[in-house]
Amino acid sequence: MQQVFTRAMARNVFLGSAAFFLVIYIVLTTQTWHEIPVRDHAARMSAAVREGKYLVDVNDCQGCHTINGEGSYFAPELDNVYTRRGPDFLRAWIMAQPTGAPGRRQMPNFHLSPTQVDDIVAYLQWLSNVDTNHWPPNIQG
């Protein structure tokens, strides 16, 4: 048995490993791209849902909230807030901001119209139906 690790052996180990992991990467990427349409339900996005997503993005809701684990952690996760609170609570909560409760961070009042609030609630409803592979790990986000 040879005791010396030659340059040719090192090259072969590197190239073999690189090829192996490249194949794994391609397989997993292909699987992910096939899985995304099944999990995100993008075909169910109505005009209200798209407008709600636009409003969430424009008003930088992820500056305080998280969506699919992305964003800031000052305020609750929005993935399951529709399931936890329901549409009536969400409409009332958004319209009542800021509440002025002492000792709490205040959500700003974005001066949204009732139609815009309905669009955001529609987006949150759509978001609650996206298969996030059991994220967040607990019901409170």
d(C-alpha 94, C-alpha 120), whole Å: 9
The confidence score (pLDDT) of residue 2 equals 64
Host H or E run for residue 67: strand 66-67
pTM for the complete prediction? Answer: 0.77
Q: What's the mean pLDDT in 114-141? A: 87
84-126 pLDDT per residue, tens: 999 999 999 999 888 877 877 788 889 999 999 999 999 999 9
Tell me the per-residue pLDDT of 18-72, one tens digit each, with 9 for 90 and over.
Answer: 999 999 999 999 999 998 888 888 888 999 999 999 999 999 999 999 998 889 8
User: What token pair was written down for 79?
Assistant: 């993935």
* 95 touches 121 (CB < 8 A): no
